[in-house]
Amino acid sequence: MIRSAILLAFAATATATLAAAAPAATPLTTISERSGFQTTGRYDEVVALCARFQKAYPKQVRCFEFGRTPEDRPMLALAVTRTGALTAEQAKKKGVPVLLIQGGIHAGEIDGKDAGFLALRDALEGKAATGALDQQVLLFVPVFNVDGHERFGKNNRPNQRGPVEMGWRTTAQNYNLNRDYVKGDAPEMQAMLALVNAWDPLAYIDLHVTDGAKFQPDVSIQVEPVHGGDEALKVAGAALQTNVMADLKAKGSDPKPYYMSFAKEDDPMSGFVDALSTPRFSTGYFLLRNRFAMLVETHSWKDYPTRVRITYNTIVSLLSQVAQNGKAWQKLAHEADARALTLAGSDVPLSYRTTFNTKTIEFPGYAYTREHSDISGGLWTRYDETKPQIWTVPLRDEIVPDLRVAAPLGGYIVPLAHAAWVGAKLKQHGIAYKVIGADQMAAEVETFRATKTKFGTQSFEGHQTLAVEGDWGRERRAVRKGALFVPIAQPKARLVMTMLEPRGADGLLAWGEFNNAFERKEYMEDYVAEEVAREQLEADPQLREAFRKLLDTDPEFNQSPAKRLAFFAKRHASWDERFNLYPVMRTAQKY
């Protein structure tokens, strides 16, 4: 209780200080600062500030456009450094670590924009992270989802305290960019991936505001690689997470290393379950590139000045951490790239799971009641923020590999029919491939045939998802000139496997990009199948026995005329041998 009161008093004092210190209108102050962090500006302010920072610091800041949105707005970034490396080429030539911080991927969660400009100005003026810009390039994207930012309104985030108005979660095309890192559908994500490919940031920082219940902790800091990815990078990732959390604690915050969402929605006593996000999210994606990612989630029920302060403190900490450790971590990342070249034949995790091993934690919450609602008919949780309370709740945070797959010895072959669009996807991620220059009539390859398929029941992010079961088997197949060879021996080998393995989490197949291969297109009429069945039964005693065994042991088969006739149709010469055959192949050959 005493500690909670101290933290609340600290937050109130810091919030009042920010408001009292709000400067008059000067070229590098924000609308948010001048309002005491009650409001946030529109995107034209970002455009103006980007230019003003460059004008004020022409040798330390470069403002540039890296993409256009579907509604034709500029996507802007600021490269900030005292190393002289204001372009991607200069940063690579000088070997300077790059820290990429992006705000507004969900444009209603806009703390990162206002905190970022404030931290940027203080760093340039020597008021924060002193000397940090001498050791790195800060690549700052104030707003990722620009069109969503301009869908401005007071009610866009009903479970968030401030600012007065804010943007919208999704893009003008209704994409959730925070589900798009692998599939890269949105023009905004394609622009971001191109920016990442050009600058190769050591760390990618994804600034958010969480939804959820009312409790005292004010921010969660999740970092990868910690639970997955290269082993040496996992150690460095854990250090980055620990160091930033320590810095935040010193500033009065109560950060947690897991996403603070209840295991059962709206039930505090269900506790928390940590997880490794799949590659559709930034933290699941960048570990596949052997780089660090951090998800920062301030708590939506803290007021806007408090959240901006916490985000500001996080950015300052990151600048300091990269200044101190960036060179060493950059060396580890490059060594991880080299190790990825040798993954051929080794078991590589494609997905992870949280075990059921549970520990009990003391979590600072508030008094609450759970009572029947005559509106919803369910239970309703009501919090009393005047009564801090310690909850004793379970936490599951042991994360282990789930599905492991042996990497191919050579790589993957993408057939000519799919080469153009798959090649375009690979280019988005900077993945290397080669165009095969001659026909091979009987190449020895591995093929994957699905034994079970499950399509998503509704559209998700514009896709009908697909999950398959099955395994790889050897056979000889024709490989046409113009097909693609994607070598496994490359720095992004883990990303290659995620995208091209049929059971990969968030791979191309999982997102429904190959659904046609798993849809039956040719059929035999029932009356024809009846005749074919009788001919097969008469000619093959072993087939008769197999059929009778299924009738006796499989009730579903026994009672389904379609399944019974399909049993024979599959054994007829007219059956489509490509049905349920995944078009991408694996090979031991190195083209």
Q: Give the residue numbers marked as catalytic.
A: 297
Bridge partner residues of 477 (DSSP): 443
The b/e string for 332-341 (b: 16+ C-beta within 10 A; e otherwise) is: bbeebbebbe
Q: Which of 31, 102, 41 is nearest to 66 (CA)?
A: 102
177 closest CA partner among 260, 258, 275, 282: 282
Determine contact, residues 320/247, Cβ cutoff 8 Å.
yes
Which residue shows structure tokens 């309703």? 380
Q: Over the Cα atoms of the chain, what is R_g?
A: 27
Phi, psi of 319 (to 5 degrees): -60, -45
Amino acid 255 reads P
What torsion do the CA atoms of 222, 226, 230, 233 make, to the nearest 10 degrees? 80
Q: Using CA atoms of 420, 493, 235, 317 in order, give the dihedral in degrees to the nearest 10.
A: -20
Closest CA to 105 of 293, 358, 366, 270: 293
Residue pair 482/436 in contact (Cβ under 8 Å)? The answer is yes
Q: Which of 309, 21, 105, 103 is nearest to 29 (CA)?
A: 21
The angle formed by the CA atoms of residues 100, 103 and 108, to the nearest 5 degrees, is 165
Answer for the pair 564, 557: CB distance below 8 angstroms, yes or no.
Answer: yes
CB atoms within 10 A of CB 417: 12
Beta-carbon neighbour count of residue 565 at 10 Å? 18
Q: Read off the tokens for 412.
A: 């993957």
Q: How far apart are CA 278 and CA 291, in angstroms?
A: 15
Q: Are 495 and 407 in contact (CB under 8 A)?
A: no
| Residue whose C-alpha is closest to residue 449's, from 584, 300, 558, 312 | 584
Report the SS3 class of residue 556. helix
Return all residues near 89 (Cβ < 8 A) that are at least 6 apart: none
CA separation for the pair 340, 419 (Å, rounded): 24
User: Please, are residues 311 and 207 in contact by the beta-carbon 8 Å criterion?
Assistant: yes
> At 153, which amino acid appears?
G
CA atoms of 206 and 197, how far apart (whole Å) = 17
The residue ranges of DSSP E strands in 118-277, in sequence order, are: 137-141, 203-210, 219-224, 255-256, 272-273
